[in-house]
Chain A
């Protein structure tokens, strides 16, 4: 009987166009828009590229030019020196084609459009030149015997620290938006499951009434519906995952990801069942409650604005520990960035516990309902 119910529940789910749109097409559409909008922002803005500058020399400074040309050479060049007149350079600066114009005159100066990391780097290069020159001149006057030693130190390019990185994984923070889409779509499963709950409850409509009169076990019926909803949601998540991989979003450790998506689907479906069975109000109101809860949890997991999770982590970290949307997104993040599975497993354990709690509440609220009359 269970498999019979499962088969027809599955077919019913596949024919539910709105459910499929929310759990499959909407995440794909949203992911596509994000991909188009974000594009290669990480590469363009965060990854370092040579800083384009123009030098306008009324009184050329040969030493400075030597330094700047050296900084523009090689694979790890800091600058890209462009050759153009001052007028064209000013236009290029307005159009953000270059970052700064360096003026070589009696004094070195620069003109920029906006303050930022790149203009700060250019300024620090010019400041460094001036300062090193001043140090050498001061040493010549105070302690000329040490000038050679001072010059060697100033001209050296050794680092005074050891550079370390925390991971070889993908550190692009914009990928988090795509992870948040998965957590949102998992929670959107609550819309369909809330609606389906009405088809089980006798006091919610004629279909629920008819099903309550059947001789088949209610447990079998509820389990079949639940399994079908989780299965359909999980398949939709897998298809979304495949689509994102085709787009080129870096997502690794797929088997572990699939486990998270399965548990996320269980949580989404359970949430809808809890709302559908616990709240005694109209269908529209129940749907609204599902939307409000899902959207609120998704927004708090950096879906719309970056930095909310970080802000909550510093002020009220417990909220991040119990928000299923954050736990799902963080699991993706942990798998893509961390070298070990400790954070992933701790998130998985919390999500599993949540799923068990929600399922328990759903079962307790649905079982053994009695009605005065039908």
Chain B
């Protein structure tokens, strides 16, 4: 198994890129993606909470009532000050609005004159802005109505809170998907980029090293049959592909044990093994197209990033336009991401298309290997 051992030795010299990409990926996953994506099962309606901040310069009973209501119904986040630049930066990121209650708010006592004492900064025309402002108006309007009907401030506040707690009945369709994707979804979708990139960056240079004139001639002089050489190289590809996939699946089992150690985990595993085959196919093809490491790196980044942007990896599947989805049908990553989407439980098509997509991924892998073989053969013939 000399060729196999040689393959692994050369691959070992190129493992640095894999470690780097996976290291950056795991860091971003642990510090940015997992904390912000806890998927909740959708069985009961949960009103979306707008992120806002509030500065109360009146500090009256009236302003405190409004603050207390907003804190119950939305997500209050403290910001360092109410300077325009600070508000601007927060609105650009996650914030829906920043409320400033000026001194004298209590004198308006929830009437129309309150607009002289309350400012709401938001991005005009956005859904979040409209939602937040309507919730402020709703509370102020009811307080105003109860005060006008003769209630005291305390009575009006109690009655307003009581009536605001009432809600119509909301039901979900049978296959409700939930309002966001889980962290495990993002883990596996981002792997479409990581796998393609790392496989090309590590396997292609390894194959190029084996294909270089000197080692190739030395191997050709040996008693090894051509078929055995190829078999050992393919065995090397299989072992490295399987090894990296198992490491990533192991990481998934550690990070997402609750979601992964289930039947869904088996589906995720099968999906990733199929996509690994596609990535190996790409690596094999690139190794036949070029022997230059910088050009291989370019191919790796263009292919992996291109597929990732167009197939629902960096941009959630459901936000892609119809045109992009049509283009994505030509890319193997589309079928990989579609399977993750199905397994997470978002599609109404069930598991039926899962195995179809697995089959398509394997067809892509075989097609890439065949193209690589044809290119190699043409090169030999032209020599």
* A contact residues vs B (CB 8 Å cutoff): 18, 21-22, 26, 29-30, 33-34, 36-41, 44-48, 78, 90, 93-94, 96, 107-121, 123-124, 126-128, 130-131, 134-135, 138-139, 142-143, 146, 149-150, 153-154, 156, 158-167, 171, 173, 288, 291-292, 295-296, 299, 304-305, 307-308, 310-311, 313, 333, 337-338, 342-343
Give the secondary structure class of B's interface.
helix
A203 to B128 CA separation, bound complex (whole angstroms): 61
Q: Which residues of chain A are near B87, meaning CB under 8 Å?
A: 166
Neighbour of A94 across the interface among B122, B140, B348, CB < 8 A: B348
Smallest CB separation, B60 vs chain A (Å): 15
Smallest CB separation, B217 vs chain A (Å): 25
* B contact residues vs A (CB 8 Å cutoff): 16, 20, 24, 28, 31-33, 36, 42, 45-48, 84-85, 87-89, 91-94, 99, 110, 112, 114-116, 118-131, 133-138, 140-142, 144-146, 148-150, 159, 163-164, 166-173, 175-179, 292, 294-295, 298, 301-302, 305-306, 308-310, 314-315, 318-321, 324, 327, 348
Known: A114-B179, A305-B28, A307-B36. A109 touches B123 (CB 8 A): no
Smallest CB separation, A340 vs chain B (Å): 9
Extra pairs beyond A18-B298, A33-B306, A288-B20 (14, CB < 8 Å): A22-B298, A36-B324, A37-B315, A112-B170, A112-B171, A121-B130, A153-B141, A160-B112, A160-B140, A160-B144, A164-B121, A166-B84, A299-B24, A311-B31
Q: Which residues of chain B are near A142, meaning CB under 8 Å?
A: 149-150
Q: Which residues of chain B are near A46, meaning CB under 8 Å?
A: 126-128
Chain B residue at minimum C-beta to C-beta distance from A191? B294
Q: Which residues of chain A are near B306, meaning CB under 8 Å?
A: 29, 33
Q: Which residues of chain B are near A48, meaning CB under 8 Å?
A: 125-127, 129-130
Q: Which residues of chain A are near B89, meaning CB under 8 Å?
A: 313
Known: A21-B298, A115-B47. A107 touches B167 (CB 8 A): no
Chain A residue at minimum C-beta to C-beta distance from B31? A311
> 29 A-B contacts, Cβ less than 8 Å apart?
A26-B302, A29-B302, A30-B305, A33-B309, A37-B310, A41-B315, A45-B127, A93-B173, A111-B172, A113-B172, A113-B173, A114-B42, A115-B47, A121-B127, A121-B134, A134-B163, A134-B166, A139-B145, A153-B144, A154-B141, A161-B136, A163-B124, A163-B133, A164-B122, A288-B16, A292-B20, A307-B94, A310-B93, A342-B85
Q: How many A-B residue pairs have CB under 8 A?
A: 248
Chain B residue at minimum C-beta to C-beta distance from A105? B169
A50 to B96 CA separation, bound complex (whole angstroms): 19
Q: Which residues of chain A are near B93, meaning CB under 8 Å?
A: 173, 307, 310
**CB distance A160 to B135 under 8 Å?**
no
Q: Which residues of chain B are near A166, meaning CB under 8 Å?
A: 84, 87-88, 91, 121
Smallest CB separation, A309 vs chain B (Å): 8
Q: Which residues of chain B are near A117, meaning CB under 8 Å?
A: 48, 127-128, 131
Q: Which residues of chain B are near A29, meaning CB under 8 Å?
A: 302, 305-306
Smallest CB separation, A341 vs chain B (Å): 12
**CB distance A26 to B301 under 8 Å?**
yes
**CB distance A123 to B47 under 8 Å?**
yes
Chain A residue at minimum C-beta to C-beta distance from B294? A18
Known: A121-B134, A134-B163. A150 touches B145 (CB 8 A): yes
Q: Which residues of chain B are near A21, meaning CB under 8 Å?
A: 298
Smallest CB separation, B52 vs chain A (Å): 12
Known: A26-B302, A109-B171, A123-B170. A160 touches B130 (CB 8 A): no
A98 to B132 CA separation, bound complex (whole angstroms): 22
A323 to B191 CA separation, bound complex (whole angstroms): 27
Chain A residue at minimum C-beta to C-beta distance from B177? A114
Q: Which residues of chain A are near B128, meaning CB under 8 Å?
A: 46, 117
A313 to B63 CA separation, bound complex (whole angstroms): 30
Known: A163-B133, A295-B24. A36 touches B110 (CB 8 A): no
Q: Which residues of chain A are near B164, meaning CB under 8 Å?
A: 131
Known: A162-B116, A305-B32. A107 touches B169 (CB 8 A): yes
Neighbour of B309 across the interface among A36, A40, A154, CB < 8 A: A36
Chain B residue at minimum C-beta to C-beta distance from A34? B309
**CB distance A337 to B92 under 8 Å?**
yes
**CB distance A115 to B140 under 8 Å?**
no
Q: Which residues of chain B are near A156, meaning CB under 8 Å?
A: 112, 141
